[in-house]
């Protein structure tokens, strides 16, 4: 296909997306206003005629749609390439110009597409956390976001969401009706981006996206009504404060307990934990990560889980799809399944990332992508597996210095 024809098709595709956005925005806005009780506090990006980058704290899968529902222009957001495995999602994401990106793996094609949108005058959206946070507090930001902003040389707006995590925690299956406050403010002008260093830009975006839903909720105490408030909390909580057993949390409707010592807890209608010294998921998560870090540093980690759904890809072609038993120790990850036995040294694995709810992805040193699809009721906690691998990798790196 020649370049002229390709550009013509791209232009038509952009025009179609913009037209559909104008037609569908009022309907989508009404739907999400009802589902989340969206309260727009301010939108300083509305009416902006120049291209810009919008960032924000990322708490629900619907965040980009909600932001677009209060925008006067279609914002093209970066989306994990895992979403494109689903044909319906792929069609919709392509239709509205989303930018597929390999999470935590340098993706020059996605960066070029993003810069081209800006060059053509369109706003784009980037989440500096790299994905939805798990515990209600803004996660560690990816530093390369600041480099991208510096390269783009455009204004930056921040969409700060409050109450979104309590409406739909990442670990939960179910929505809760409370409030979703959205505040969109200008963080950096194009001139400031040009004048500031990358480090200064990073500090600015870190400050603008920082938020903890539980600290906010302590002051507001808004009821978040919904069913099965604790269901699947074992995706995020994996260590018991009472007995320090690993991978011992089991959830049932509004309650969860430790299957080792039987300590029981409840999530109340405000999102707080009853029956424990840590009254919220963020505090509990900080505590368990510190304990886990000590275990990993001392080489005391040995995790096992059976019958995990595993896929392998090379050059975007699936080369394995089956079930494996896994073992993770202080040096390697062992995969044992029908037609596959592999031992991957942790220091040779790169780009660990958790996608959607139950998908853990990483690459080996030959750029083969591994995808684990975990069942929270049958397999190991996805955050226990992810955090252990990352902490072991960090311990190996520090030991080698």
User: Quick one: average pLDDT of 346-362?
Assistant: 91
Q: Which CA distances in Å does 359 have to 157, 181, 301, 370, 391?
A: 30, 29, 22, 10, 19
Question: Please, are residues 133 and 57 in contact by the beta-carbon 8 Å criterion?
Answer: yes
Does 72 have pLDDT greater than 70? yes
Between CA 22 and CA 72 the distance in angstroms is 8
Please report the pLDDT score of residue 83 as a whole number.
Answer: 66
User: Quick one: average pLDDT of 99-111?
Assistant: 73
Please report the pLDDT score of residue 107 as a whole number.
Answer: 72
Pairing of strands 369-373, 359-363: antiparallel
Decide which of 388 and 91 is more confident: 388
Does 400 have pLDDT greater than 80? no
Closest by CA to 388, choosing from 244, 254, 323, 291, is 291
Residues 6+ apart with CB under 8 A from 57: 129, 133, 138, 160, 161, 209, 210, 211
Burial of 297 (C-beta count, 10 Å sphere; 0-12/13-18/19+): middle
Confidence of residue 94 (pLDDT cuts 50, 70, 90): confident
Q: Which CA distances in Å does 54 have to 124, 185, 215, 323, 324?
A: 6, 9, 24, 40, 40
Residues 6+ apart with CB under 8 A from 181: 39, 41, 161, 162, 163
Confidence of residue 4 (pLDDT cuts 50, 70, 90): low
Between CA 36 and CA 21 the distance in angstroms is 20
Count of helices and strands (H, E) across the chain: 11, 18
Does 168 have pLDDT greater than 90? yes
Fold of the CATH domain 3-220: Glycerol-3-phosphate (1)-acyltransferase (3.40.1130)
Does 12 have pLDDT greater than 70? yes
Indicate the average pLDDT of the chain.
92
Between CA 204 and CA 364 the distance in angstroms is 34
Decide which of 396 and 231 is more confident: 231
- Using one digit for the tens of pLDDT, what is the confidence trace for 224-239? 999 999 999 999 999 9
Between CA 161 and CA 208 the distance in angstroms is 11
Does 193 have pLDDT greater than 70? yes
Please report the pLDDT score of residue 277 as a whole number.
Answer: 86
Burial of 277 (C-beta count, 10 Å sphere; 0-12/13-18/19+): exposed
- Least reliable range by pLDDT among 28-37, 86-95, 253-262: 86-95
- For residues 79, 83, 85, 90, the Cα torsion angle rounded to the nearest 10 degrees is -70
Does 264 have pLDDT greater than 90? yes
Please report the pLDDT score of residue 105 as a whole number.
Answer: 54
Between CA 146 and CA 197 the distance in angstroms is 9
Give just the sign of the alpha carbon dihedral 368, 373, 379, 385: positive
Does 153 have pLDDT greater than 80? yes
Please report the pLDDT score of residue 1 as a whole number.
Answer: 52
Please report the pLDDT score of residue 155 as a whole number.
Answer: 98
Please report the pLDDT score of residue 86 as a whole number.
Answer: 66
Helix (H, G, I), strand (E, B) or coil at 62: coil
Does 136 have pLDDT greater than 90? yes
User: Quick one: average pLDDT of 30-42?
Assistant: 96
Fold of the CATH domain 303-400: PH-domain like (2.30.29)
Closest by CA to 256, choosing from 160, 376, 362, 118, is 376
For the chain, what percent of residues have pLDDT higher than 70?
94
Decide which of 151 and 86 is more confident: 151
Q: Which CA distances in Å does 295 have to 246, 300, 348, 396?
A: 11, 5, 21, 13
Please report the pLDDT score of residue 378 as a whole number.
Answer: 95
Please report the pLDDT score of residue 60 as a whole number.
Answer: 96
Within 10 angstroms of residue 293's Cβ, the number of other Cβ atoms is 16
Does 245 have pLDDT greater than 60? yes
For the chain, what percent of residues have pLDDT higher than 90?
79
Closest by CA to 378, choosing from 323, 313, 341, is 323
Widest CA span of the chain, in angstroms?
68
């Amino acid at each position: 296909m020649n370049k002229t024809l390709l550009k013509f098709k791209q232009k038509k595709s952009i025009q179609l997306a913009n037209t559909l956005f104008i037609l569908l925005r009022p309907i989508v806005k009404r739907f999400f206003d009802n589902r989340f009780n969206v309260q727009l506090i301010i939108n300083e990006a509305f009416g902006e005629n120049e291209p810009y980058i919008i960032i924000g704290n990322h708490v629900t899968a619907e965040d980009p749609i909600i932001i677009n529902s209060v925008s006067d222009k279609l914002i093209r957001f970066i989306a994990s390439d895992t979403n494109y495995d689903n044909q319906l999602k792929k069609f919709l994401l392509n239709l509205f110009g989303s930018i597929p990106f390999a999470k935590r793996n340098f993706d020059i094609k996605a960066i070029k597409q993003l810069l081209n949108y800006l060059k053509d005058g369109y706003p784009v959206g980037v989440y500096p956390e790299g994905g939805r946070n798990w515990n209600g507090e803004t996660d560690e930001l990816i530093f390369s976001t600041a480099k991208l902003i510096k390269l783009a040389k455009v204004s930056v707006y921040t969409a700060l969401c409050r109450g979104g995590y309590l409406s739909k925690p990442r670990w939960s299956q179910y929505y809760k009706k409370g409030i979703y406050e959205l505040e969109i403010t200008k963080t950096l002008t194009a001139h400031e981006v040009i004048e500031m260093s990358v480090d200064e830009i990073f500090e600015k975006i870190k400050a603008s996206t920082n938020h903890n839903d539980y600290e906010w909720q302590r002051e507001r105490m808004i009821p978040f009504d919904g069913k099965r408030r604790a269901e699947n909390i074992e995706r995020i909580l994996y260590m018991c404060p009472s007995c320090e057993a690993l991978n011992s949390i089991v959830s049932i409707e509004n309650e969860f307990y430790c299957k080792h010592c039987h300590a029981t807890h409840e999530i109340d209608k405000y999102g707080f934990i009853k029956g424990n010294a840590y009254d919220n998921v963020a505090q509990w998560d900080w505590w368990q990560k510190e304990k886990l870090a000590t275990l990993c540093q001392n080489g005391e980690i040995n995790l096992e889980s059976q019958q995990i759904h595993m896929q392998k890809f090379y050059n975007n072609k699936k080369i394995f799809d089956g079930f494996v038993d896994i073992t993770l120790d202080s040096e390697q990850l062992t995969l044992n399944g029908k037609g596959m036995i592999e031992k991957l040294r942790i220091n040779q694995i790169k780009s660990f990332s958790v996608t959607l709810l139950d998908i853990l992805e990483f690459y080996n040193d030959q750029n083969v992508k591994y995808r684990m699809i975990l069942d929270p009721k049958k397999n190991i906690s996805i955050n226990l597996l992810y955090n252990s691998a990352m902490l072991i990798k960090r311990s190996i790196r520090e030991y080698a210095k």
